[in-house]
Structures are given as C-alpha cells and as structure tokens.
C-alpha cells in the first residue's frame, strides 16, 4: 500500500490538486487536511504516520533513522535549488 499526505494552510485553498497528483503517483490511501504548518498537532498527519507503522515513525530504529535522513536530505535539496525570496522578487520586477 502506498500512502500520501496532502496539506494546505488556509480554508481558501484546496488539497484536491495535491490528492490528484498523489493518486496519479500511485498512492492508494491519501490523508488530507487544512492546517497551518506551524500547528503542532495535525490530526491527518498523525493518522498517516500511524498508518506507516511504528518502525517508520520511531527514529530510534534503523528504518526510522533512514526515513529521517532521507526526508532531511530532500528538504535540504529543495532549499538549495530554490532561489532566495529577494532574487525571485527582483526577477519579477525586472520583467515588469
């Protein structure tokens, strides 16, 4: 089974496009919610983590440490490839 998690921050947004992409990528069960990323408790995220099983949620196990390492690497990659905000702003100002 392949799990997915979709989240948007505000009520004016919809998880539907994310859910559609997750399903297209093969997710068979998708958890979705509207919740600020700053919120500590996100009900659907907790359900998704629980569905993965204890080994993936427990960072003291080899599987848990691997997952934490992979997710950290992906986050670092995303930060590195995204230009800083002022660069994006300057770019849009140059285009008019």
Indicate which residues carry an active-site annotation: 9
> How far is it, in rounded angstroms, from Cα 43 to Cα 78?
26
Question: What are the φ/ψ torsions at residue 8 (nearest 5 degrees)?
Answer: -125, 160
∠72-73-79 over CA atoms, to 5°? Answer: 90
Smallest Cα–Cα separation from 54: which of 71, 42, 67?
67
């Amino acid at each position: 089974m392949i799990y997915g998690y979709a989240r948007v921050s505000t009520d004016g947004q919809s998880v539907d496009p994310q859910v559609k992409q997750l399903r297209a990528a093969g997710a068979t069960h998708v958890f979705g919610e509207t919740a600020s990323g700053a919120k500590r408790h996100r009900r659907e995220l907790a359900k998704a983590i629980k569905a993965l099983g204890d080994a993936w949620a427990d960072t003291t196990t080899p599987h848990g440490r691997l997952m934490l390492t992979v997710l950290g690497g992906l986050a670092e990659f995303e930060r590195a490839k995204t230009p800083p905000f002022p660069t994006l702003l300057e770019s849009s100002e140059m285009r008019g």
